[in-house]
C-alpha cells in the first residue's frame, strides 16, 4: 500500500484487541540471541534509564519473528507510572500494566547508523514486555541495585555481564504491528513485537524506578514519577498474532 509517512498514522503505543488480532502463519518464532558480554552501562536519560549494549558486532541479535534480516540489540529501558495502577504503554484489551520493558534493536545491515535506521519503517524492532506486580525478579534486582549510581540525569555506571535473556518470559508468543518511537522524536520506524506473557516485578522494586531524578546533579532533585505515553487513538491498526 502507499505508505505515506507524513500522515503520522502509525503512532505508538496502542490498545490491542486480542480477539481482532489475526494469527498469521507466516510469522516465525522469535530467534533471540543475547550474549551477556555485550552489556556496557546503565545511563539516566532524564525521562528514563537505558541499559546500553555494544552493538558493534553481530553478537546480541534478534532474528525471525515478523522481521526480515538481523537486528542488533542496542539498549533496553522501562516505562512506569506514578502508582502501580498505571505505567505500561501498550494496553491489551483495555488492561493497563504497572510497567513495560522495551528492548530496542536496529537494522544494522540495512542502515549505516542507528539514527539513520530511525528514519525508516524497517529501521528498528522493539520487543515490549509487560510487567505485573508479583514476586521479586532477581535479575531485575541487579538493575535496581545500580540505580543508586545513576540517580541524577546524565549519570552513567558500568554494567558488565548482564544476562538480559533471563529477564524474558518462557513463552515468546507475541503480537506485532508497525508503529513508532513512543517518545520524541516519535519517528515511525518501529516493528513492535509485544510479548503475550508478562514478567513479575515486586511493588518495592517498582518504587525504586520512581526514585530516579529527571534533573542533573547540581539542580533541585525532581523524581521521574511516570514516563509512559497515552495510547494513540488512530484508525484501526492491523495487529497480528504469532499463535492462534
Ligand X SMILES: Nc1nnc(SCC(=O)Nc2ccc(S(N)(=O)=O)cc2)s1
Quick check: 118 binds ligand X (CB under 6 A)?
A: yes
**Which one of the spans 17-25, 61-69, 133-141, 175-183 is the region binding ligand X (CB under 6 A)?**
175-183
Cell 504469532, located at residue: 242
**Half-sphere exposure for 170 (CA within 13 Å, toward CB):** 0
Contact between 217 and ligand X per CB under 6 A: no
The residue (of 121 and 202) whose beta carbon lies closer to ligand X is 121
181 binds, among Zn ion, ligand X, none (CB under 5 to 8 A by kind): ligand X
Task: Given the residues 47, 120, 157, 228, select the one marked as catalytic.
Answer: 47
Please identify, using beta-carbon distances, which residue of 126 and 162 lies nearer to ligand X. 126
Q: Find the part of the chain contacting Zn ion (CB under 5 A) among 56-64, 102-110, 172-180, 205-213.
A: 102-110
Among 182, 191, 232, 242, the residue binding ligand X under the rule CB under 6 A is 182
> Which partner from the list Zn ion, ligand X, none does 104 bind, CB cut-off 5 to 8 Å by kind?
ligand X
Burial (Cβ within 10 Å: 0-12, 13-18, ≥19) of residue 197: middle
Is 126 among the residues that bind ligand X (CB under 6 A)? yes
**Binding status of residue 74 toward Zn ion by CB under 5 A:** no
Site for Zn ion contains 228 (CB under 5 A) = no
C-beta of 28 vs 140, nearer to Zn ion: 140
| HEC string for the chain | CCCCHHHCCCCCCCEECCCCCEECCCCCCEEEECCHHHEEEEEECCCCEEEEECCCCCCCEEEECCCCCCEEEEEEEEEECCCCCCCCCCEECCECCCEEEEEEEECCCCCCCHHHHCCCCCCEEEEEEEEEECCCCHHHHHHHHHHHHHCCCCCEEECCCCCHHHHCCCCCCEEEEEECCCCCCCCCCEEEEEECCCEEECHHHHHHHCCCECCCCCCCCCECCCCCCCCCCCCCCCCEECCC
If one asks whether residue 183 binds ligand X (CB under 6 A), the answer comes out as yes
Q: Which does 122 bind (CB under 5 to 8 A by kind): ligand X, Zn ion, none?
A: none
List beta partners, residue 73.
Answer: 105
Whose CB is nearest to Zn ion?
102
Q: Is 77 a residue of the active site?
A: no
Q: For residues 39 and 50, which CB has a smaller minimum distance to Zn ion in the complex?
A: 50
Under the binding rule (CB under 5 A), the answer on residue 90 touching Zn ion is no
The contact set with ligand X (CB under 6 A) reads 102, 104, 115, 118, 126, 181-183, 185, 190
| Chain residues that interact with Zn ion, rule: CB under 5 A | 102
Amino acid at each position: 500500500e502507499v505508505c505515506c509517512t507524513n500522515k503520522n498514522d502509525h503512532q505508538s503505543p496502542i490498545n490491542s484487541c486480542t480477539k481482532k488480532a489475526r494469527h498469521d502463519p507466516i510469522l516465525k518464532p522469535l530467534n533471540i540471541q543475547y550474549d551477556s558480554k555485550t552489556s556496557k552501562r546503565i545511563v539516566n536519560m532524564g525521562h528514563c534509564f537505558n541499559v546500553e549494549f555494544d552493538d558493534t558486532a553481530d553478537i546480541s541479535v534478534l532474528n525471525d519473528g515478523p522481521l526480515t534480516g538481523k537486528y542488533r540489540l542496542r539498549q533496553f529501558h522501562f516505562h512506569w507510572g506514578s502508582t502501580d495502577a498505571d505505567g505500561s504503554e501498550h494496553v491489551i484489551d483495555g488492561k493497563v500494566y504497572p510497567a513495560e520493558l522495551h528492548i530496542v534493536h536496529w537494522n544494522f545491515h540495512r542502515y549505516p547508523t542507528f539514527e539513520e535506521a530511525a528514519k525508516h519503517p524497517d529501521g528498528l524492532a522493539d520487543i515490549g514486555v509487560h510487567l505485573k506486580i508479583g514476586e521479586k525478579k532477581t535479575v531485575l534486582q541487579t538493575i535496581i541495585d545500580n540505580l543508586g549510581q545513576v540517580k541524577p540525569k546524565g549519570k552513567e555506571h558500568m554494567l558488565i555481564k548482564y544476562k538480559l535473556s533471563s529477564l524474558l518470559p518462557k513463552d515468546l508468543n507475541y503480537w506485532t504491528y508497525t508503529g513508532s518511537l513512543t517518545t520524541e522524536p516519535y519517528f515511525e520506524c518501529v516493528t513492535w513485537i509485544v510479548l503475550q506473557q508478562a514478567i513479575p516485578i515486586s511493588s518495592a522494586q517498582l518504587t525504586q524506578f520512581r526514585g530516579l531524578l529527571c534533573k542533573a546533579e547540581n539542580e533541585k532533585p525532581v523524581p521521574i514519577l511516570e514516563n509512559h505515553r497515552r495510547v494513540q487513538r488512530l484508525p484501526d491498526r492491523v495487529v497480528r498474532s504469532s499463535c492462534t
